């Protein structure tokens, strides 16, 4: 990877619906400006397998809902200077946490056996085991900043990313503090 002075940014998709990433893409033409100002080193929309070292800013979407998510969250923390909870699921658990009232066994049976059309079977090897509960990111690792909304608006993302790329933790004005 070329050495550059540009901030190294990662975006991560844990237990969420990818709506926050969709909202990121809603930056529209501002994405072109972003491409000049940062280097995207890891993302669901970039073909990178391993979370790299020396990440400056990590935007993490989704609750921590499986063993893989927890492993990933810890890796992100050790390899990133600034970790941002990206949207309501990362910040509160939100929709991902709706399943917390059911046992994992009941959930898996319901999803993979009772509601499965044809060949119902519990997954064993491909999917990481679910954690007992889906939790907000900051209950698993320390988080430096929080973006709100389901999903956050493109304006809120822009405000935050702009500050982050200038090396500042964004102090979001109250107008962006909106759950749901």
Q: Give contact residues for other proteins (rule: CB under 8 A).
A: 85, 88, 91-95, 97-98, 100-101, 133, 135-136, 138-139, 143, 146, 148, 150, 172, 174, 177-180
d(CA 86, CA 70): 16
Q: How far is the CB of 94 from other proteins (least distance, A)?
A: 5
d(CA 173, CA 160): 10
Length of the chain: 180
d(CA 40, CA 162): 14
Q: 30-63 burial, b if ≥16 CB within 10 A, otherwise e?
A: eeeebeeebbebbbeeeeeeebeeebbbbbbbbb
Q: How far is the CB of 161 from other proteins (least distance, A)?
A: 17
d(CA 92, CA 32): 31
Whole-angstrom distance between the N-terminal and C-terminal Cα of the chain? 38
Q: How far is the CB of 91 from other proteins (least distance, A)?
A: 6
Q: How far is the CB of 173 from other proteins (least distance, A)?
A: 11
Cβ closer to other proteins: 23 or 41?
Answer: 23
Cβ closer to other proteins: 20 or 38?
Answer: 20
Cβ closer to other proteins: 7 or 19?
Answer: 19
Q: How far is the CB of 89 from other proteins (least distance, A)?
A: 9
Cβ closer to other proteins: 11 or 85?
Answer: 85
Cβ closer to other proteins: 75 or 95?
Answer: 95
Cβ closer to other proteins: 35 or 103?
Answer: 103
Residues 6 or more apart whose CB falls under 8 angstroms from that of 12 comprise 42, 43, 44, 51, 58, 59, 60, 61, 62, 72, 76
Q: How far is the CB of 32 from other proteins (least distance, A)?
A: 30
């Amino acid at each position: 990877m070329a050495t550059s002075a540009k901030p190294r940014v990662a975006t991560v998709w844990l237990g969420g619906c990818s709506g926050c990433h969709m909202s990121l893409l809603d930056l529209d033409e501002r994405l072109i400006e972003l491409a000049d100002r940062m280097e995207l080193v890891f993302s669901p929309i970039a073909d990178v397998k391993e979370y790299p070292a020396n990440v400056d800013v990590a935007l993490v979407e989704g609750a921590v809902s499986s063993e893989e998510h927890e492993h990933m969250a810890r890796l992100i923390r050790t390899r990133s200077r600034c970790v941002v909870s990206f949207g309501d699921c990362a910040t509160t658990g939100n929709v991902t946490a709706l399943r917390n009232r059911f046992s994992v066994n009941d959930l898996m049976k319901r999803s993979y056996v009772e509601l499965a059309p044809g060949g119902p079977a519990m997954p064993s090897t491909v999917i990481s085991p679910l954690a007992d509960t889906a939790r907000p990111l900051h209950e698993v690792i320390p988080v430096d900043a929080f973006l709100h909304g389901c999903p956050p608006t493109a304006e809120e993302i822009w405000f935050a990313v702009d500050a982050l790329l200038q090396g500042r933790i964004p102090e979001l004005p109250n107008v962006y503090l909106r759950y749901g």
